[in-house]
Amino acid sequence: MHVELIKNIFSVGYVDWNVRDFHSYETTRGATYNAYLIKDQKTALIDTVKAPFAKDLLENIGSVIDPAKVDYVVCNHAEPDHAGALAQVLKALPNAALVCNAKCDATLSRFFDTSGWKKEIVETGDQISLGKRTLQFIGTPMVHWPESMFTYVPEDKLLFSMDAFGQHYSTSQKFDDEVSLETAVFEAKTYYANIITPYGRNVSLTMEKVKYLDIKIIAPSHGIVWRTHTQKIIDLYSNWVVCRAQPKVLVLYDSMWGSTEKMAQTILEGASVPGIEAHLIHVRRSSLTQIATEVLDAAAIVCGSSTLNRGLMPAMGSVLTYLRGLRPMNKIGFAFGSYGWSKGGIEEVERYLKETGWDILHEPIMTQYSPAPDVLEECKEAGKKLAERVLGA
């Protein structure tokens, strides 16, 4: 099945309704691997799909045009969710040349035997005329991999943006104005928080590169196409690239016998002042995906763990490892927790927070076994101080 997005540009990718895990990203709304076919005097396919869905992609292409008439297969990104089907696709499109940059060519050669493939190696500024339409190529390194690039069609003011501006969101509709905008933005934020956050600086450089382009439509490799709310998603990205903080405090914790939980609740109570949105998150009852999404625009995140076997509670270890990899910037916080005979868990929380690059507001708050009233008072004061700092008081 295909959908004609605008005259002679077709959506021919695959909607993966049932996928729920994308290397630990919890895809509660499924995912799509978008591929686009541009039919002109010459015909180009923009990106492919995950390997298991090559047959679906080829059927979709065949419903538009004789596969022998496809001249180019543009690979904007070598990651297997977009390039996994390349070998099967190039075999089925006998006259198509692969179009990619040199880094992409080198990366693809680590996944496939590319020696028999016809190739056109392009770099930023190169273009290919299809007839009425032109493909222009813009390198966007580390958005998401080193070889990533955008393809721009000036005649339609259309940007094929690969992972950028994407969402893991399976729908039968193809455009932003056909679905709930709130859902599309939420999924775009979730995608940014969990996939793109470590590359904020690279995204900023990319935004600088493309700000001179007249962009009316953004067609990413995941999720819906932005045609009505295009400026809105560009504006949101300019906030997300710097993890621009809302006046929001998160209290993340895991607890064995309720002591760390009591401390978390008391910190939350202290931070719950007018103007602050405070959230309490038990990390064993939330997914990594949800937590990273909440963290993206939080100003302050405090993390607490009971000490288990001289170290962290496992779920807190997982959260902190994930956040340390994502490195969301411009955050403040501190560590807290309870212990029996070793303070290892709380010390590890603080070490992680420092390694993630966050400003530590003060020394860890800790208690042996159950928190006494003076410890709870310290928790409440710390929460209040955190909120005041967030509000700039």
- Residue whose CB is less far from ligand FEO, 80 or 344: 80
Active site residue 14: no
* Residue 262 structure tokens: 């009591």
Q: Are 52 and 87 in contact (CB under 8 A)?
A: no
Q: How far apart are CA 368 and CA 392, in angstroms?
A: 33
By CB under 6 A, tell whether 163 contacts ligand FEO: yes
* Catalytically annotated residue among 25, 36, 56, 144: 144
**Which tokens go with 15?**
């909607």
Which lies closer to ligand FEO via its Cβ, residue 192 or residue 352? 192
In this chain, which stretch among 76-84, 113-121, 228-236, 379-387 interacts with ligand FEO, using CB under 6 A?
76-84
> Least distance from C-beta 163 to ligand FEO, angstroms?
4
Q: How many residues sit in the footprint of ligand FEO (CB under 6 A)?
A: 8
Q: Is the separation of the CB atoms in 367 and 376 below 8 Å?
A: no
Which residue among 16, 72, 77, 294 is the active-site one? 77
Helix (H, G, I), strand (E, B) or coil at 320: helix
Per DSSP, the residues of 354-367 read: HHHTPEE-SSPEEE
The set of residues, in sequence order, having a beta carbon less than 8 Å from that of 116 and lying 6+ positions away, is: none
Site for ligand FEO in 208-227 (CB under 6 A): 221-222
Q: Which of 29, 77, 133, 229 binds ligand FEO (CB under 6 A)?
A: 77
CB of 6 or CB of 106, closer to ligand FEO = 106
Residue 77 a catalytic site member = yes
- 79 lies in the site for ligand FEO, by CB under 6 A: yes
The active-site residue out of 47, 56, 81, 147 is 81
Based on CB atoms, which residue is closest to ligand FEO, 16 or 294?
16
Q: CA-CA distance, 23 to 91, in Å (whole number)?
A: 28
Minimum gap (Å) between residue 37 Cβ and ligand FEO: 19
Q: DSSP string spanning 70-95? A: --EEE-S--SHHHHTTHHHHHHHSTT
Q: Report angle CA 298, 303, 309 to the nearest 5 degrees.
A: 155
Residues marked active site are found at 23, 77, 79, 81, 144, 163, 191, 222
**What does the binding site for ligand FEO look like in residue numbers (CB under 6 A)?**
77, 79, 81-82, 144, 163, 221-222
